[in-house]
Amino acid sequence: MNIFQTAPGCSIPYPDQIREEYEVRESHSILANISFPHLRPLVEEVFHSLPEPLFFVLQLPLSVQEEQLLRYPRGQAHQEVLYLDNQSLSQIEAIWQSYGSLLLADGLSQFAIASQKSHQEIFVQKYKITALFSPQPREFVPLLEHYGLREVKHLLTPWDTFTAATPGECRRVSYEGMDVFLVAEELKKHGMYRYRITEE
């Protein structure tokens, strides 16, 4: 049996407890554990299947300075949700070519690629737990099974294995001086904007 592989920016205490599996939430979404070697090709297959126009979402932690500036309560961290909408497939491909490896490896960020037309979306969350949203979520089942995932009634995610003594860890990853915060600054030059601030 292969041990579940996490992204370089993520550590989980019991990878042997995590399986490449998915749970279907009928008429809404699929939640999946996808081992790191399968994540990139699966994300690519999903966004190549989505009808244009597309949008890209990047979710990042707020800085300590901004948390203080906005006078948020201590102890509760917040994130900014950034949108880049009305994108063609070729524009999303360009973003992916430039930043996909970093986004997949990084532990602090979350990202999504979605269709404004069909309301289908792939959302890669903390610890790379992946949600696939669709009015007919089972349309993604053949793709997941192609990568060896199997359906379960209740998905055990890394979050379910954490305790106070054995937490998970998410870290920022840098490639050649670039990190996800600099990715956001680059994409803002192309129209990315802050959509909202949310609690972590």
The band of 8, judged by pLDDT with boundaries at 50, 70 and 90, is: very high
Identify the pLDDT of residue 127. 96
pLDDT in tens, 125-156: 999 999 999 999 999 999 999 999 999 999 99
Which residue's entry shows tokens 């939430």? 25
The dihedrals phi and psi of 152, each to the nearest 5 degrees, come to: -130, 160
* pLDDT tens track for 170-181: 999 999 899 999
- The rounded distance, in Å, linking the Cα atoms of 33 and 186 is 30
- Res. 95 pLDDT band, cuts 50 70 90: very high
User: What's the token pair of residue 51?
Assistant: 């009808």
Mean pLDDT for 51-73 is 86
